């Protein structure tokens, strides 16, 4: 259609120019005949004829252009409709694909040998640096004659592992293991029948990583003389039964390492039974101009202490 449009345009202009030059030659011929005394019909001058031809040509080209524009508009609308239908089909395919992925995932999970697994910390033994940990898992099936073992392997040393026999009247098994908090473990199970064995990974327990980020502390100072302060303290105990906080001491300083007073705010701390996190939101003011800073010190049930960064107070503390 594009080539046809340009061909029509070119032919139109060629015809118009041919008519103009032809009329001009014809006009000259009749003018010469009139000069020679021959009778001739009056003709309009070439300029007027040229204007008429241009107007006619412009009208024709305008009609052609409008027709072309209408055709292109129709084509664009058709293409937009095709694009919309294509997008619709793509969305349907995506929806079908998502549904298939969900169905596939559900099928894989429902047919997986390990249906679920979990762990729960009990007590911490300070003398051996171990946490008594209950590990539970559910299998889809197991041979009736199989011996099932729970295995905790030190990731840094495969020869260092704990292996215990687990039994159950159902397909859910559990066992308590004393795990070293300084090690990274790979928790797995092994099913042994006669001379054959097979098993799988349940999960990994990275104790150094778990114990590395137990405390979250943030603080701020406000007021014209920077004497109003607040802080938020979060202390996680990982659900270890005998791990708790004995005291939360706020210490006030009048100079480097010079504590002039302190207060225990443990009673204001809350404990979340679901996340096993102690939380304290605290705010106060200092009226003594000699106080230049404050910090927070936590003492836990095993005698371990954690000290926050010092919060600077007053003009001297902020320098």
So what's the pLDDT on residue 20?
A: 67
- Give the pLDDT of the chain (319 residues) as one tens digit per residue: 566 666 766 776 677 667 666 666 666 666 666 566 555 555 566 556 666 667 776 777 777 778 778 888 888 888 888 888 888 888 887 877 777 777 766 666 656 889 899 999 999 998 999 999 999 999 988 888 899 999 999 999 999 999 999 999 999 999 999 999 999 999 999 999 888 889 999 999 999 999 888 899 999 888 776 688 999 999 999 999 999 999 999 999 998 889 999 999 999 999 999 999 999 999 998 888 889 999 999 999 988 899 999 999 876 655 4
Cβ atoms within 10 Å, residue 58:
12
Beta strands in the chain, from DSSP E residues, in sequence order: 114-125, 130-139, 147-154, 161-166, 172-180, 184-193, 196-206, 215-222, 228-236, 245-255, 258-264, 270-272, 277-285, 293-300, 305-307, 311-312
Q: How far, in Å, CA of 279 to CA of 277, rounded?
A: 6
- CB contact burial 65-101 (16+ within 10 A = b; e otherwise): eeebeeeeeeeeeeeeeeeeeeeeeeeeeeeeeeeee
């Amino acid at each position: 259609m594009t080539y046809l449009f340009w061909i029509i345009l070119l032919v139109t202009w060629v015809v118009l120019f041919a008519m103009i030059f032809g009329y001009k030659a014809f006009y000259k011929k009749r003018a010469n005949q009139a000069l020679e005394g021959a009778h001739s019909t009056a003709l309009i001058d070439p300029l007027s004829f040229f204007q008429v031809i241009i107007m006619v040509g412009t009208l024709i080209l305008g009609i052609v252009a409008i027709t072309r524009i209408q055709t292109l508009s129709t084509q664009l609308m058709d293409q937009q409709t095709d694009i919309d239908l294509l997008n619709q089909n793509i969305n349907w395919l995506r929806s079908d694909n998502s549904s298939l992925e969900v169905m596939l995932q559900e099928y894989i999970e429902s047919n997986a040998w390990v249906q679920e697994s979990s762990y729960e910390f009990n007590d911490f033994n300070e003398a051996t640096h171990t946490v008594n940990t209950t590990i539970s898992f559910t299998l889809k099936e197991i041979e009736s004659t199989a011996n099932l073992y729970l295995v905790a392997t030190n990731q840094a040393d495969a020869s260092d592992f704990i292996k215990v026999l687990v039994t159950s009247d159902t397909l859910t098994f559990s066992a308590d293991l004393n795990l070293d908090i300084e090690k990274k473990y790979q928790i797995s199970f092994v099913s042994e029948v006669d001379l054959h064995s097979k098993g799988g990974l349940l999960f990994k327990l990275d104790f150094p990583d778990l114990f590395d980020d137990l405390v979250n502390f943030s603080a701020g100072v406000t007021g014209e003389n920077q004497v109003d302060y607040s802080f938020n303290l979060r202390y996680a105990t990982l659900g270890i039964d005998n791990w708790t906080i004995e005291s939360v001491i706020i210490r006030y300083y009048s100079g480097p390492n010079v504590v002039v007073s302190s207060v225990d705010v443990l009673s204001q701390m809350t404990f979340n039974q679901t996340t096993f996190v102690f939380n304290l939101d605290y705010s106060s003011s200092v009226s003594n101009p000699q106080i230049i800073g404050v910090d927070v010190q936590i003492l836990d049930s095993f005698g371990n202490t954690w000290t926050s960064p010092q919060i600077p107070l007053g003009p001297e503390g902020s320098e």
